[in-house]
Structure 1
Amino acid sequence: MRRRRVGDSGLEVSQIGLGTMTWGSGTDIDGATEQLTAFVDAGGTLVETAEGYGAGTAQEMLGEVLATSVRREDVVIAGRGGVPSGPLGDGAARGALLAGLDAMLERLGTDHVDLWQLPFFDARVPVEETLSAVQVAVYSGKARYAGLAGPAGWQLATVAERGRMLGGVAVPVSAQAEYSLLCRDPERELLPAALHHGIGLLAWAPLGRGVLTGKYVDGTPADSRAASPELAPYVEARRTGRSARIVHAVLTAADGLGTSPLSVALAWVRDQPGVAAAVVGARDAAQLMASMAADPLVLPAEIRAALDDVSDPG
């Protein structure tokens, strides 16, 4: 699998990343081991995980797999820790952030994360204090790089500018946001800000929460996320009239190219300007390999233009 630099930084990641949101809920330890082993064997490196996935279970499972089946040095961990309330403050306070980082490292069973993704922008705390936590983490070796999860464009730009004033180590190298043919919100201000400041986008839900694969065209498969009481609202938010038109266009493009709708949707996101990696989740290793198979596909300009047009948010 091809690799890319994250923004203007020296950090390199596989252009398709593995998300662990379902680990501990829909995916058990055996399934997680099969996924990560297959992912690494196929040349994947970027693994995204968060404290909120299964209340920390996903990170504990990732740590177990790294201790038993996959070498730690073969993966790039992009991790989000929690921000527990306590005597050191909460939110983006320096004490809370560093406590959350330590707790995440303990769950992962490692001494560092490669990309520490700060969980949110906290207007109650001076940006300089938040960025000082990044400096501490990097200088102590607990984090190699830092980024932001789900920022608005102005928030990302503010953090980047203040980070430069404190020295390059505090400048975020990445921003994580939902981005797909069904959700082009980052194009309004987040992607322009990221491109201006040399920050790479980690695109999650690039398959439109599964809708762009075409699996819901004729109903709701019993083994799909939309059939799960917990995940149904997550999927249904992307099943609209507009979505149906876009899915039809993706199916048409896939038929013309002799490939899968999944590959078409994933390739569109992956090769958008400013995107460092598209992060996919999977039910099992076979489903993950279907996403990995999209790696060689490059969409012809006319098909990309047609998909741009039908998915234009206006």
Structure 2
Amino acid sequence: MEERLVGATGLRVSAVGLGTLTWSRDTDEHEAAEQLRDFVDAGGTLLDTAASYADGAAEELIGHLLRTTVPRDDVVLCTKAGVRHGAGGRVVDASRGALLSSLDGSLERLGTDHVDLWLVQTPDPRTPLAETVGALEHALGSGRARYVGLSNHAGWQTARAATLLGPGRLAAVEVEYSLLQRGVEREVLPAATDLGVGVLAWSPLGRGVLTGKYRRSVPADSRAASAHLAGFVEPYLGRDAGPVVEALVTAAEGLQRTPLEVALGWVLGRPQVASAVVGARTAAQLRAALTAQTALPEAITAALDEVSAPAVGYPERR
């Protein structure tokens, strides 16, 4: 598998990353172990998780697998902090204390003394960004994180955090990016490009919709049929997504490839994208991404760009 640098740093990751959102919930230990073995055997390195995934159980499972299935040094371990689930539901807390406590918990669950990349999972409007950045600085200084970054933050937040940290210290931003979600092109990607920050694209397959499996109906074993993930997929099942999916399927047929391959190839062809993080429920689903041919002809890329172009207005376009 192709290996890429993350922005202007020396951190190298596989072009396809392995996401673990469903681990310990929809993906059991047996399936997770098979996924991880297949991933590493294919040359994959970026293993992406978060303290909030399955309330920490995903990290616990990863820690177990790094002791029993693949060596810790074979993966670039990325985790995220800043979101937890309390009695009242989802809680966002990117304060210094909460972030550093979360990191300590992640390291214990993962069974390691450091993570390779540590990200703040989402913006916290109640905490000053300078305080959040201070936690990132402390994680770097203490050696508990080798590189740091942000996830799901706006362009101005990315630029401000990079300024506060200093040149070259904000390594990455992880954002949703696919043919069905191109909002990051307005400000986040230009900021990342200018600052030398690498981009990790989560849900490059449009939450599964860009595989084409939802064109006619909702499969019974799909995420859209799952009680806890249906709301995650639903935004991309409406009329707006239809023309994009149909154009993708047409392109795939013309290239004699699958829609998954073309969708993944489109994301990996975008500037600053270091890795496309793919989450699969089963090992069979993951293998399709690991063996994908991702290079696309320029004419196909241009056609997909046109049909999926996001609405852009003032001040990005005048």
TM > 0.5 fold call: yes
Which amino acid counterpart does residue 129 of structure 1 have in structure 2?
A: E
SS in 1 for 2:170: coil
Alpha-carbon displacement from aligned partner over 1:197-239 (angstroms, at most 9, x marks no partner):
1111111111011111110112111111111121111111101
State whether residues 24 and 54 of structure 1, in contact with CA within 8 Å, keep that contact through their aligned partners in structure 2. Answer: yes
Aligned equivalents of 1:212 and 1:126: distance in 2?
37
Aligned equivalents of 2:99 and 2:83: distance in 1?
6
Instruction: Pick which of 218-227 and 259-268 moved more.
Output: 218-227
SS in 1 for 2:146: strand
Aligned equivalents of 2:309 and 2:95: distance in 1?
39
Partner of 1:55: 55
Partner of 1:275: 273
Q: How well do the aligned residues superpose, as a CA RMSD in angstroms?
A: 1.6
Offset of residue 121 of structure 1: 3.3
Which amino acid counterpart does residue 224 of structure 1 have in structure 2?
A: S
Alpha-carbon displacement from aligned partner over 1:113-168 (angstroms, at most 9, x marks no partner):
0000122334544444333322322222210000101100000000111111xx65
Aligned equivalents of 2:177 and 2:128: distance in 1?
29
Which amino acid counterpart does residue 210 of structure 1 have in structure 2?
A: G
Aligned equivalents of 1:231 and 1:95: distance in 2?
30
Alpha-carbon displacement from aligned partner over 1:26-65 (angstroms, at most 9, x marks no partner):
1001111000010000000001101111111111101110
The aligned runs of 1:265-304 (5 Å cut-off) are 265-294=263-292, 296-304=293-301
State whether residues 33 and 65 of structure 1, in contact with CA within 8 Å, keep that contact through their aligned partners in structure 2. Answer: yes
1:204 to 193, 202, 205: 202
SS in 2 for 1:92: coil
Distance 1:141 1:224, change over 3 A: same
State whether residues 82 and 104 of structure 1, in contact with CA within 8 Å, keep that contact through their aligned partners in structure 2. Answer: no
Partner of 1:152: 154
Aligned equivalents of 1:301 and 1:184: distance in 2?
18
Which amino acid counterpart does residue 66 of structure 1 have in structure 2?
A: L
Aligned equivalents of 1:3 and 1:116: distance in 2?
19
Structure 1 runs not aligned, ≥5 long = none
Which amino acid counterpart does residue 240 of structure 2 have in structure 1?
A: R
Distance 1:225 1:122, change over 3 A: closer
1:107 to 103, 106, 109: 109
Partner of 2:135: 133
The aligned runs of 1:1-314 (5 Å cut-off) are 1-82=1-82, 91-164=93-166, 168=168, 171-294=169-292, 296-314=293-311
Aligned equivalents of 2:120 and 2:232: distance in 1?
23
Per the normalisation by structure 2, the TM-score is: 0.92
State whether residues 80 and 117 of structure 1, in contact with CA within 8 Å, keep that contact through their aligned partners in structure 2. Answer: yes
SS in 2 for 1:209: helix
Offset of residue 84 of structure 1: 6.9
State whether residues 35 and 283 of structure 2, in contact with CA within 8 Å, keep that contact through their aligned partners in structure 1. Answer: yes
Aligned equivalents of 2:228 and 2:138: distance in 1?
38
Percent identity, please: 54
State whether residues 212 and 247 of structure 1, in contact with CA within 8 Å, keep that contact through their aligned partners in structure 2. Answer: yes
Aligned equivalents of 2:277 and 2:243: distance in 1?
24
Aligned equivalents of 2:204 and 2:84: distance in 1?
30
Structure 2 runs not aligned, ≥5 long = 86-91, 312-318
Aligned equivalents of 2:190 and 2:14: distance in 1?
22
SS in 2 for 1:80: strand
Number of residue pairs matched? 305
SS in 2 for 1:310: helix
Distance 1:29 1:182, change over 3 A: same
Per the normalisation by structure 1, the TM-score is: 0.93
SS in 2 for 1:136: helix
Offset of residue 312 of structure 1: 1.0
Aligned equivalents of 1:108 and 1:19: distance in 2?
15
Alpha-carbon displacement from aligned partner over 1:284-309 (angstroms, at most 9, x marks no partner):
11110101122x42100000000000
SS in 2 for 1:180: coil
Aligned equivalents of 1:268 and 1:83: distance in 2?
30
SS in 2 for 1:252: helix
Aligned equivalents of 2:202 and 2:28: distance in 1?
21
Aligned equivalents of 1:260 and 1:239: distance in 2?
19
State whether residues 127 and 162 of structure 1, in contact with CA within 8 Å, keep that contact through their aligned partners in structure 2. Answer: no
Distance 1:183 1:83, change over 3 A: closer
